[in-house]
Structure 1
Amino acid sequence: MNKQMIFCDFDGTITNSDNIIAIMKKFAPKEWDDIKNNVLSQQISIKEGVGKMFSLLPTAQKEVISEYIVAHAEIRDGFKEFVAYTKEEGIPLYIVSGGIDFFVEPLLAGLIEETNIYCNRADFSGEKINILWPHACDAKCNNECGCCKPSIIRNLADSETYKIVIGDSITDLEAAKLADQVIARDFLIKKCEEHSIAFSPFKTFYDVMDILKKREVTA
């Protein structure tokens, strides 16, 4: 069996709901909703949309927003067991997230090493929250992803690697196109069907483990 790597989304995949959407619903003025719709319909890039949404929020709200998300975000059933499973099997697990460091890292603390977390960063030095993009698109991607999941995959995996992508939304579509196996829920299912990408649906990470174990049996 080829060397395996797992690339897993965070918002709406590891967590039960999308934390950026939760932040916007709670703290942002109503303009955020049009921006979100333009991202989902691919009228504007993910990078532009996320940047614009966070620029609606004053930096003075940093602590309140951070505390709200850490208190309200729920980790999807089976994730801790899934992390343990990947370690037992020796499968590298990378979190590739369009989310932001100030809530992604605290929610994954004690589960995933920070070196295996790829996400966007927030700058609170101005009046409004400014998003930084340390994982920009490489020369093979011009989608303005923000956190470019295909670029991260190309950087970490080689042609021999069996690449498993787990995700839930439009932000995972380009990664799914590179994957050998896609495990999907919610909007990513719709996008995979539109693009004729084979996938296995999941609701919990117990489902994900079952899907991966079935491959072990047949491989």
Structure 2
Amino acid sequence: MVNQVVLSAICHPQLEKSAASVHTLRIPSELPAFQVLCDFDGTITKTDVTDAILETFALPAFRDWERRWERGEITSRECLARQVELIRADRATLMQFAADIPIDEGIVTLQQRCAQHGIPLVIVSDGIDQFIEAVLHRHGLSSIPVVSNRLVWDGNGPPSLGFPYASLDCMVGAGTCKCAVANLFGLSLRETTYIGDGRSDRCISTMAQKVYAKAGLREWCDLQGVAYEPFETLTDVTERLFRKVGCFA
């Protein structure tokens, strides 16, 4: 049996209000010993989907916003919002492009093992919902709950972004504050395994019980003295994770 947990930024004091702030997540009514939260871009996919779309379909000015973000002049939330407004392609074209982005096939095994043992697996991303959904649908993974920024289409104009899970207190200024999202779910970070690779994964990595890190997140954890296990593929993560809990088969 499962309960439907309705997530709303409106009812959480640290999350900003948004008209598109309600999302339904299905989790077991009795949580097991832990849960798994996983980044998407660069972790489940082999490249950042949003970056690839911007490089292919956005006006060149998107790079100016990227440089301002890199210099610390704006938050990643503002950067992404401005960049998405520069995309010049229709929805069908973007969805097809996103669906063709290659993935780490280990996510299939991770999803299967989590489902087999009743362990909640949730994608928590500072990326874009419709791009993520296109990738998951392509690979038969649409059952994995996703929490992310929201792509909004208004008539025939360019898309825009909604941020139902932003937090004014977010350490990295992300569109989706992963720490606040975990709290909103009622998930204890002390009982959470987190998997990630980048800047938006930093804060939650300091609080999760177990962290699997690669690429930029691994480098940051080294500099900050944050405990983690390095990984290259999600197959590696799955094998180590389930051997530790004694249920890998």
Give the TM-score band, short-chain normalised.
Answer: 0.7 to 0.9
Unaligned 5+ runs, structure 1: none
Distance in 1 between residues matched to 2:152 and 2:188, nearest whole Å: 36
Aligned length: 212
What letter matches 1:63 in structure 2? A
- 2:81 aligned to 47, 51, 57, which one? 51
Change beyond 3 A, Cα 1:200–1:174: same
Change beyond 3 A, Cα 1:181–1:39: farther
Change beyond 3 A, Cα 1:202–1:40: farther
Q: Is residue 124–residue 148 contact of structure 2 (8 Å, CA) maintained in 1?
A: yes
**Structure 2 partner of 1:4:** 34
What letter matches 2:49 in structure 1? N
What letter matches 2:136 in structure 1? L
Change beyond 3 A, Cα 1:137–1:11: same
Q: TM-score, normalised by structure 1?
A: 0.87
Q: Is residue 168–residue 186 contact of structure 1 (8 Å, CA) maintained in 2?
A: yes
Change beyond 3 A, Cα 1:4–1:131: same
**Structure 1 partner of 2:21:** none
- Find the residue that maps to 2:245 and give its secondary structure: helix
- Find the residue that maps to 1:198 and give its secondary structure: coil
What letter matches 1:104 in structure 2? I
Instruction: Give the alignment's Cα RMSD to 1 decimal.
Output: 2.2
The Cα shift of 1:36 comes to 2.7
**Structure 1 partner of 2:69:** 39
1:185 aligns with 2:219: no
**Structure 2 partner of 1:121:** 150
Map 1:196-207; keep pairs closer than 5 Å: 196-207=225-236
Distance in 1 between residues matched to 2:70 and 2:243, nearest whole Å: 33
Distance in 2 between residues matched to 1:198 and 1:121, nearest whole Å: 32
Q: Is residue 96–residue 134 contact of structure 2 (8 Å, CA) maintained in 1?
A: no
**Structure 2 partner of 1:96:** 124
Structure 1 segments, 4+ long, off by >6 Å, are none
The Cα shift of 1:34 comes to 3.6
The Cα shift of 1:81 comes to 0.9
- Find the residue that maps to 1:7 and give its secondary structure: strand
What letter matches 2:237 in structure 1? V
Q: Is residue 5–residue 161 contact of structure 1 (8 Å, CA) maintained in 2?
A: no
The Cα shift of 1:166 comes to 0.5
Distance in 1 between residues matched to 2:63 and 2:219, nearest whole Å: 21
Q: Is residue 172–residue 200 contact of structure 2 (8 Å, CA) maintained in 1?
A: no
Structure with greater helix share of residues: 1
Distance in 1 between residues matched to 2:226 and 2:233, nearest whole Å: 21
What letter matches 1:35 in structure 2? W
Deviations 1:88-111 (A, max 9, x none): 222110110112122111222332
Structure having greater relative contact order (Cα 8 Å, sep ≥ 6):
1
